Amino acid sequence: MKPITEYQDYRKFMLDYYEERKRTSVFSWREFSHLAGFTSSNYIQLVCNGKSRLSKNGIERVAAAMELEGVDRDYFRAMVHFGDAQTDEKKMQAFSEMQKIAKENHMRVIDAEAFKYFESWVNPVMRELAPILPGAKPLELARRCYPVVSAAEVRHSLDFMLHADLLKKVGEDAYEQTEKVVTGSSEAIPLALRSMNRQMSKFAVDAIDDVPPEKRHITGVTLGISESTYQWLVEKIESLRQQVVAMAAKENEYDKVYRLNLQLFPLTKGKEE
C-alpha cells in the first residue's frame, strides 16, 4: 500500500487496506468489522461505501484493527475529521492538521503544494506578474495589484512558489514559470478552489467601483431555463474556460494579469425543492 500521507480520503485508505489484506490472505468484511469490535458484520463496508461514518470511538477501533500507531494513527484521525467535516472551515482545519503531522515527521502529502497555491489569490497573481517584471522588488509587485497586498505577502508567495517549483529564478529578482498551467488532483483541491472563488468573487464586486469601465468587462443576464438547458450552458462555459486556458498558455508577451470569473447560479428554487 501507499504511505498513509498519500491519501486524503480515509474511506479509500480503508478500502485499499481491505483489498491488500484480501489479496494476500483470507480476509473478509466480517473479519475486518470483528477486528474493530463492531457487532455488525458489514459496518466497515458501509463506511467504505460512504453509507455510514466513523464515530470518535469508531476511529480508534478501526485504527487499532489496521494496526496504525503513532504518526499514522494521528494522520488517520485527522483524515477522518477532514472527510466528515460539514463546513469548509472545519475541513480547512483538519487538512491543515494533516499537513502539520506530515511535515513534522518529514512525510509527503500529495498535492499539498497545489492546495496551498489555490488557497490564496496572491499566488496565481504573482505567478503571472513576477515573470513580466524582472528585477522588481516585492514592494513594487505589491503596488501593481488592485487588491491591497503587502510586500511581505508577496515575498512569502514568491518563496513558496520557488520551493514548490511553480516558479524558478533566472536572475536577481527575475522569475520564469516552470509550467504554463497549474493543476491538482487530490480530494482537498476543491476546498482550496472554493476559498479562491470566494476571494475572486469579492474582487469582482469591488472592481465595479474601483476599476474604470474601459478596463473591465462585467455583465450578466437573468433567465428562466430548464435542467437540460442548464446542463447545456455548463458544457458551453466549461468549453470556453478550456479555450481561454489554452489561449493563455500560448501567450508569450503580456503586460497585465486579469481574472475571468464564469458563474452560473440559481436565483429561485426548483419544483423538486
Give a yes or no: residue 258 inside a domain.
no
pLDDT for the residue numbered 56: 94
pLDDT for the residue numbered 114: 81
Give a yes or no: residue 185 inside a domain.
no
Please calculate the CA angle 192-205-203 and round it to the nearest 5 degrees.
45
Give a yes or no: residue 270 inside a domain.
no
Read off the pTM. 0.70
Residue numbers of the domain that contains 60: 4-104
Give a yes or no: residue 11 inside a domain.
yes
Give a yes or no: residue 184 inside a domain.
no
pLDDT for the residue numbered 110: 65
pLDDT for the residue numbered 65: 95
Give the chain's residues under pLDDT 50. Answer: none
CA 260 → CA 182, 217, 219, 236, distances in Å?
16, 10, 12, 15
pLDDT for the residue numbered 243: 93
Count of domains observed in the chain: 1
Give a yes or no: residue 255 inside a domain.
no
From the list 139, 147, 89, the residue with the least C-alpha distance to 122 is 147
Q: Rounded to the nearest 10 degrees, what angle do helices 112-119 and 88-104 cross at?
A: 140
pLDDT for the residue numbered 153: 96
pLDDT for the residue numbered 185: 60
Distance linking the first and last C-alpha atoms of the chain: 43
From the list 230, 120, 232, 93, the residue with the least C-alpha distance to 182 is 120
pLDDT for the residue numbered 208: 93
pLDDT for the residue numbered 184: 66
Q: Rounded to the nearest 10 degrees, what angle do helices 56-65 and 70-84 cross at?
A: 140
